[in-house]
Amino acid sequence: MPPSRLLDDRALRLFVLLTAFFCVNAVLAEFIGVKIFALEDTLGIAPLQWNLFGQSGSLSFTAGTLLWPVVFLMTDVINEFYGRRGVQLISWLAAALIVYGFAFAFAAISLAPAGWWVKAAEPQGVADYQAAFAAVFGQGLWTIAGSLVAFILGQLIDVAVFHRIRAVTGEKHVWLRATGSTAVSQLIDSFVVLYIAFVLGPQKWPTSLFLAVSSVNYAYKMLAAVAMIPLLYVMRRGITGYLGERRAEQLRLDAAQ
- Residue 200 domain-assigned? yes
- Residue 2 domain-assigned? no
| Bridge partner list, 62 | 36
Q: Residue 74: its pLDDT value, please?
A: 93
Q: Which one-letter amino acid corresponds to residue 112?
A: A
Percent helix, strand, coil in the chain, to 5, is 80, 5, 20
pLDDT along the chain (257 residues), means of 10: 70 95 94 88 87 87 88 93 94 96 94 95 93 89 90 93 90 88 91 91 89 91 91 94 94 89
| Bridge partner list, 51 | 56
- Residue 91 domain-assigned? yes
First to last CA, the chain: 23
- Residue 82 domain-assigned? yes
Q: Residue 58: its pLDDT value, please?
A: 86
CA distance 131 to 73: 36
- Residue 105 domain-assigned? yes
Q: Is the dihedral of CA 201, 203, 209, 215 positive or negative?
A: negative
Q: At residue 53, what are phi and psi to the nearest 5 degrees? A: 50, 35
Q: Residue 27: its pLDDT value, please?
A: 94
- Residue 190 domain-assigned? yes
- From residue 195, alpha-carbon distances to 29, 202, 209, 214 in Å are 19, 11, 10, 9
- Residue 131 domain-assigned? yes
Q: Which of 183, 213, 193 is nearest to 152 (CA)?
A: 193
Q: Residue 141: its pLDDT value, please?
A: 84
Number of other CB atoms surrounding residue 128 within 10 Å: 14
Domain count, the chain: 1
What is the pTM (predicted TM-score) of this model? 0.90
For 131, the domain range is 7-115+123-255
| Bridge partner list, 37 | 61
Return the SS3 of 52. Answer: strand
Number of other CB atoms surrounding residue 56 within 10 Å: 10
Q: Residue 39: its pLDDT value, please?
A: 87
User: Are the C-beta atoms of residues 83 and 238 closer than 8 Å to each other?
Assistant: no
CA distance 52 to 125: 38
- Residue 1 domain-assigned? no
CA-based radius of gyration for the chain: 21
CA distance 240 to 213: 40
